[in-house]
Structure 1
Amino acid sequence: MNPCSTPAPSRPWWKTTPAVLGVLALVALLGAFSFALGFLVMIAAVVAVWVLPPWRWFARLGATFGALVLLTVGASLGGQLDDNGTGEADAKSADAGGASAEAATASPTVSDPAKAADYVGQSLDEAEKQARSAGYSAGHHDAAYGGRTIIMRSGWTVCFQKADAAAKTIEFAAVKSAEPCPEKDGGPLPWPKMPDVVGATYNTAVEDLKHAGVDLDRVTLDDVYLDIDTPTAEEAAEDGDEWRVCFQSPDEGTKVTSTITVRLDLGRWTDADLVQRCPSAKDTTYKIPANDPDYDSADGTTVGGGWSDGGSPSSSGGSTGGGSVGTVHPGSFCSPRGATGLTEAGTTMVCGPSSDGRNRWRRA
């Protein structure tokens, strides 16, 4: 017998290619019902691929990768079948229990989205941080007309907000922290206008400024007299009916923006004072004429100090020949040399030359 013509012995069926492919298909089928069982079958299939069929190495490698894919697909299908089965079981249980249609309607399947918190009045950077913590995507723009670019968010304040709870987005409209919010988004800034407070007492002027919307922290005070110290806001308020507004800045009707400082120039008098009106100009008049170094003691008029109304010395402010002049202020100019007076605290002062060569009130 010719050995070359003898047919090759047949391979057992479990070592054939169809048998191995059947094992691979079994991986997907069993993985759909049990991932653990499918994983074990996949291990067996991989071993069979590399041991049983007479495949080349790249075919065996592809079959190994295919086994992993089949296990994943089977497990995914099994999960979907389990979810659907659970839903059907729940539906059947509800029908068997005789649940009413009203009860089913009262239990919504989708809950309404929660509304966004109110961030109006907060700094823009803090509002955006809190909104993002709540799951919102935050945006911002200038709330005032003109659409300025927002750079330092910590220096801006939220005026308006528009939120979409379903889309989880929120848009903030803000202005600079020193600015008032407009009446509506994109409107002009409602800056307060300066009222006319000239001639009013300090207390009345403060009320007028409040009513106009002017921030009192932006108000500075000054005195119109050269020999009277400028009061603090607390001191002026304590004697608010004695202090009078002689000059103001800015003028009536001017918009008081964040860059403008309000100044009130105050004069002070009581019923005991000889002169009870504001001077014609600031820093040119002495409340006590004898304090003026240019005061002419011969005729009682001011030569160069600005006593424009020609007033004579009051009972507390003037003297000639070195007598007492009443209440004086330390360091103020005085005349004539040798005159004496008392401070508001009762300390005796004398008019004499100071380090600059001019007569000033000094402690006796």
Structure 2
Amino acid sequence: MLAVPLLGLINQYLGFLAMIAAIVLVWKDSPWQKGAKVAATIAAMALLGAVLPDPPEEGAAGVARKDRKAAAARTLTSPSPSAAQDDPSPTTEPRPEAADYRGMRLDEARDKAEAAGFGTSDHNASDDDKNIWMRSNWTVCFQKSSWTGSETKTIDFGAVQTGAPCPSTDGGAIPWPTMPELTWKTWKTARNEVVALGVVPTEHLRADTAYLNDTLPDEGKYDNWRVCATDPLEGADVTINTWVTLELTHPDNGCPDPSQSKEDRVDLPDRDDDGDPDYHDPFPGDRNRNSVFPNGLPDSSGNSSGGDGSDGDSWNCPRTRWC
């Protein structure tokens, strides 16, 4: 019996086992009377109970139980990193990108975008506030695709008139080229430089004479004539609607005073006052003959006046060029 409380002090489970063994021995092998056996059993239980620690209070036990439940709940509701990696969140399907329609004619770009399922719109990409009327005459510079709230895909085109350069930003100013410096360059060289600007069609480029009484020879025969003035002036913007005029002079002549206005253009020297400047008049002292009418100028009646004062019938004198 004494072993029961001693083992109970060491470990409550050892004490409990010792108590069971002691009760079995008392009831099985002991010659004691029944009453003594009952008393011994009670005594063994009392001795073990005396040395066991007091049970925890209900409050502490409740708190402990609640803490254990909370930890378990956190464990159940907080997925582990590996679980999160194994169960990725659902992702949306990637939205298709629009093709690149920049540089394409506006009407063709709209047709292709609509065929691809896009709703289309367009606007003037420059700051000149012009409305787009004939889309076939406009070129796409910018495009912006988006999705509406009903998941409809749309694309908006920013365009400029065909032939115009694109602005650096949508809605910005068009970077028009400017008139180059062409003074004293040949017609052929100057013409090529204007065409190289990329906005002036050849039918918008013309040649004129720098002097009022001068005349251009046939096309192709003034390629080496020199530029005296330009319209527009050097440094001015050249747009797709600009007509360019280059005022030329024969290389044997200098240019008129640049300070004179176009309306005050001067004449080349013409001693016989026949309208044919001296530099190409084969008869600079005879107003009745010039480079156009070497056999005499026709009179008002349609005949010619001979250089020697004879009547018009002698204009085509036989065996001689002159009358």
TM-score interval (norm. to shorter): 0.5 to 0.7
Structure 1 residue aligned with 2:183: 198
Structure 2 residue aligned with 1:39: none
- CA offsets, 1:265-302, max 9 Å, x none? 11123xxxxx4322457764358x367327xxxxxxxx
Q: Secondary structure at the match of 2:110?
A: helix
Q: Does 1:124 align with 2:110?
A: no
- Out of 283, 289, 299, the position equivalent to 1:318 is 283
Q: Structure 2 vs 1, CA of residues 162 and 340 (structure 1 numbering), >3 Å: closer, same or farther? A: closer
Q: Percent identity?
A: 33
- CA offsets, 1:203-244, max 9 Å, x none? 332354356555252322112353523654xx26xx63x210
Is residue 157–residue 174 contact of structure 1 (8 Å, CA) maintained in 2? Answer: yes
- Out of 197, 212, 215, the position equivalent to 1:228 is 215
Q: Secondary structure at the match of 2:295?
A: strand
Structure 2 residue aligned with 1:168: 153
Structure 2 residue aligned with 1:350: 295
- Out of 111, 120, 124, the position equivalent to 1:138 is 120
Q: Does 1:251 align with 2:207?
A: no
Q: Secondary structure at the match of 1:203?
A: helix
Q: Does 1:219 align with 2:219?
A: no
Deviation at 1:112, TM superposition (A): 4.7
Which AA in structure 2 matches 1:244? Answer: R
Count of residues in correspondence between the two structures: 211
- Out of 151, 158, 174, the position equivalent to 2:140 is 158
Deviation at 1:181, TM superposition (A): 1.4
Matches within 5 A, 1:34-53: none
Larger Rg: 2
Q: Structure 2 vs 1, CA of residues 187 and 146 (structure 1 numbering), >3 Å: closer, same or farther? A: same
Q: Structure 2 vs 1, CA of residues 142 and 215 (structure 1 numbering), >3 Å: closer, same or farther? A: same
Is residue 200–residue 243 contact of structure 2 (8 Å, CA) maintained in 1? Answer: no
Q: Structure 2 vs 1, CA of residues 314 and 121 (structure 1 numbering), >3 Å: closer, same or farther? A: closer
Q: Secondary structure at the match of 2:249?
A: strand
Deviation at 1:352, TM superposition (A): 2.6
Is residue 293–residue 359 contact of structure 1 (8 Å, CA) maintained in 2? Answer: no
Q: Structure 2 vs 1, CA of residues 359 and 192 (structure 1 numbering), >3 Å: closer, same or farther? A: farther
Structure 1 residue aligned with 2:273: 292
Which AA in structure 2 matches 1:317? Answer: P
Q: Structure 2 vs 1, CA of residues 182 and 291 (structure 1 numbering), >3 Å: closer, same or farther? A: farther
Deviation at 1:132, TM superposition (A): 0.8
Structure 2 residue aligned with 1:278: 255
Structure 1 residue aligned with 2:43: none
Is residue 222–residue 231 contact of structure 1 (8 Å, CA) maintained in 2? Answer: no
Deviation at 1:358, TM superposition (A): 10
Deviation at 1:199, TM superposition (A): 1.9
So what's the TM-score if we normalise by structure 2? 0.52
Is residue 123–residue 154 contact of structure 1 (8 Å, CA) maintained in 2? Answer: yes
In structure 1, the gaps of 5 or more residues are 1-104, 270-274, 295-304, 308-312, 321-334
- Out of 276, 281, 287, the position equivalent to 1:336 is 287
d(CA) in 1 for partners of 2:155, 2:107: 13
Which AA in structure 2 matches 1:179? Answer: A
Q: Secondary structure at the match of 2:101?
A: coil
Moved more, 110-119 or 217-226: 110-119
More strand by share: 1
So what's the TM-score if we normalise by structure 1? 0.47
Q: Secondary structure at the match of 2:160?
A: strand
Is residue 125–residue 154 contact of structure 1 (8 Å, CA) maintained in 2? Answer: yes
d(CA) in 1 for partners of 2:132, 2:233: 32
Which AA in structure 1 matches 2:184? Answer: G
Deviation at 1:245, TM superposition (A): 0.5
Deviation at 1:316, TM superposition (A): 6.1
Q: Secondary structure at the match of 2:102?
A: coil
